[in-house]
Chains A and B, each alone.
Chain A
Amino acid sequence: MKQIILIAVIAGIAALLPFVIGDSPYFIGVLISVLMMAALSSAWNILGGYAGQYSFGHAAYFGSGAYTTMILISKFNFNPLVSMVAGIIVACIIALITGSIVFRLRGHYFGLASIAVAEIVRLSALNFDFTGGAQGILLTDVTLWGLDLNSKIPFYYGMLLVLVLTLGITLYLRTSKTGFYLQAIREDQDAAASLGINLSFYKNKALLISAALTSVLGSLYAVYIRFIDTSAVLDLRLSIEIILTAIIGGVGTLWGPVLGAVLLVPLAEILRSNVIGDALVKHGVVSETSGLGVFLKENLAHAHVLVYGIITVVCILYLPKGILGFFRRVK
């Protein structure tokens, strides 16, 4: 009950945020990225955090949603919501094929297979014609209920809605039979099976829920950006970023993935937009034309991957349960 109120309060604050900060497209854009990563990571957390089945290929489900939606809208003029549902179906089919084969096995097989499946999906999208190949798909015009889809605001609320939905599902699962069963599977598969838990059924159930939510976010993202290619929506880097966000925030907790996204996405944004390099130059610490200045200008923008890596190593060494897990222990 406490958590429901917390979700409502945080969602309420988030819903008011655009009115407070005004309609600066840049900040709204960053906030959309935060909400999207929080939702993606929370969706991954249902499978990875609660059921303990680490997927390294969630980009496959994100990409399925994005590609299905873009193809249906651009080529067949589908309603965006209908194509979103079609995206869920495609993602679930891929999830079901992967899960029904690999979940019979224990250990790291699912993790390995999830990478393989994600690469198969990526390479297929890169080489087929109907997916636009390496060129990707561009969407020139899209309409829904007369909403102004050129503005970022509808997507901000869309992402927020999916995040709240994901957190709500997680909360429901935690207090229901399925959630208990997923955690039992995470802790000890033999014990779980001997207590009457059908392992592959419940692992598949968690995978399907997770894949469907991830696919919805992919559809939303595609219509928001209006351009997708394999490096944007199917890359292994995306899968890794989703996992790192959850690990750093706190795996297997309701708020860990959200916390991870709130911390990491703005950090990546700061590094990517070279705020630090510009500030150093502006305050005369480094000259723009000096060797160091040029080096910073060229390389600092790519440093967010390095910083992610360093934070992850630090987290694994000192905060194995993530930032949220650390605070729980202190309390």
Chain B
Amino acid sequence: MIQHLLHINHVSKHFGGNVAVSDISFSVDEKQIFGLIGPNGAGKTTLFNCISGFYPVTSGDIIFDNKTINNLRPDEVCHLGMARTWQRVKPLGSLTVLENVMIGAFSITNTTREAEEIAMEQLQLVGLTDFSKKSAGSLSIGLKKKLELARVLATHPKMLLLDEICGGLNHTETDTILAIIRDVRYKGATIVFIEHDMKAVTAVCDWIVVLNSGEKLAEGTPEVITRNPDVIAAYLGGGHNA
């Protein structure tokens, strides 16, 4: 039987009178690559912030690995095996690339030596080994995105939340990242990712949920979603039949 690893149950998030996320429900299965897409302001990042513990939800439940995680802090969520990246990358600028990844690794080990070993493995996986001694702040955006990925992978997560990990990258870089994502899933992790780039999403996702103005517009396999007229309208503007 396929297990739901993450279950979003009627989740809403209001900021005062502003409804950012409204009554959203969906489930993510184990080892799935799950896409969360939608136009700007659809509520994708807000939903990520709720899932990863940065925002308390207004109503509804978030169940991860059979535990309700609504009221947990971000660090507690991380220790349960869910790690996230940031749309606007957050490198720990004055530390080296290796030290950045070690900080992720410290969530599963207490010794500096082990943390360094885990970090080096992850750097190798994303191809940043040559940059390990460089300061994280000095990297290009493409390498910073890879660093974000290596850093969360070092926490050995069951589930990865990737917020526009391909944003601002060129085709080659995007392909490298997508290859890493497939590899990570192959090794047993589940991936939820927010993306604008439809090509990237349809290339790797097993299942897609489309958000629009804080509401769920559609869900289904990439083939179904790309043919859905509502989705096309939301992306290209209402009324058109593209």
The interface of chain A, by Cβ under 8 A from chain B, is 175-177, 180-181, 183-184, 187-188, 190-199
B214 interface residue, CB < 8 Å from A?
no
Task: Please give, as numbers and ranges, the residues of chain B lying within 8 Å of A191 by CB-CB distance.
Answer: 86, 90-92
Contact for A176 among B78, B90, B112, CB less than 8 A: B112
Contact for A195 among B53, B73, B78, B111, CB less than 8 A: B78
> In the complex, A177 Cα to B102 Cα: how many Å?
9
Task: Flag the segment in B36-44, B93-101, B182-190 that touches A.
Answer: B93-101
Contact with A along B110-143 (1 / 0, CB 8 A): 1110010000000000000000000000000000
> In the complex, A184 Cα to B111 Cα: how many Å?
17
Q: Is the CB of B92 within 8 A of A187?
A: yes
25 CB < 8 A contacts A-B: A180-B99, A180-B112, A183-B99, A187-B93, A188-B90, A188-B91, A190-B74, A190-B90, A191-B86, A192-B92, A193-B53, A193-B75, A194-B75, A194-B78, A194-B152, A195-B83, A195-B103, A195-B104, A195-B107, A196-B79, A196-B83, A196-B104, A196-B106, A197-B103, A198-B76
The interface of chain B, by Cβ under 8 A from chain A, is 52-54, 73-76, 78-79, 83-84, 86, 90-95, 99, 102-104, 106-107, 110-112, 115, 151-152, 155
Task: Please give, as numbers and ranges, the residues of chain A lying within 8 Å of B112 by CB-CB distance.
Answer: 175-177, 180
Given contacts A194-B74, A199-B75, contact A180 B106 (CB under 8 A): yes
Q: Is the CB of A195 within 8 A of B99?
A: no
Q: Is the CB of A190 within 8 A of B54?
A: yes
The smallest C-beta distance from B144 to any residue of chain A, in angstroms, reads: 12
Nearest opposing residue in chain B for A193, CB measure: B74
Q: Which of A176, A181, A193 has the most CB of B within 10 A?
A: A193
> In the complex, A177 Cα to B90 Cα: how many Å?
20
> In the complex, A181 Cα to B155 Cα: how many Å?
14
> In the complex, A191 Cα to B144 Cα: how many Å?
13
Nearest opposing residue in chain A for B111, CB measure: A177
The 4 closest A-B pairs by CB, nearest first: A196-B107, A196-B78, A191-B90, A187-B92
> In the complex, A247 Cα to B102 Cα: how many Å?
28
Task: Please give, as numbers and ranges, the residues of chain A lying within 8 Å of B95 by CB-CB distance.
Answer: 183-184, 187
Nearest opposing residue in chain B for A175, CB measure: B112
Q: Is the CB of A195 within 8 A of B79?
A: no
Nearest opposing residue in chain A for B154, CB measure: A195
If A196-B78, A198-B73 are given as contacts, then 19 extra A-B residue pairs at C-beta distance below 8 Å, sorted by A number, are: A177-B106, A177-B112, A177-B115, A180-B103, A184-B103, A188-B90, A191-B86, A192-B92, A192-B103, A194-B52, A194-B54, A194-B78, A195-B78, A195-B83, A195-B107, A196-B79, A196-B107, A197-B107, A198-B75
Q: Is the CB of B84 within 8 A of A194?
A: yes
> In the complex, A177 Cα to B53 Cα: how many Å?
23
Given contacts A194-B74, A196-B155, contact A180 B83 (CB under 8 A): no
The smallest C-beta distance from B84 to any residue of chain A, in angstroms, reads: 5
> In the complex, A195 Cα to B104 Cα: how many Å?
5
The smallest C-beta distance from A253 to any residue of chain B, in angstroms, reads: 11
Task: Please give, as numbers and ranges, the residues of chain A lying within 8 Å of B90 by CB-CB distance.
Answer: 188, 190-191
The smallest C-beta distance from A195 to any residue of chain B, in angstroms, reads: 5
> In the complex, A188 Cα to B89 Cα: how many Å?
11
Nearest opposing residue in chain B for A197, CB measure: B75
> In the complex, A198 Cα to B53 Cα: how many Å?
12
Given contacts A180-B102, A183-B92, contact A195 B86 (CB under 8 A): no
> In the complex, A191 Cα to B92 Cα: how many Å?
8
Q: Is the CB of A195 within 8 A of B115?
A: no
The smallest C-beta distance from A182 to any residue of chain B, in angstroms, reads: 10
Nearest opposing residue in chain A for B106, CB measure: A177
Task: Please give, as numbers and ranges, the residues of chain B lying within 8 Å of A193 by CB-CB distance.
Answer: 53-54, 73-75, 78
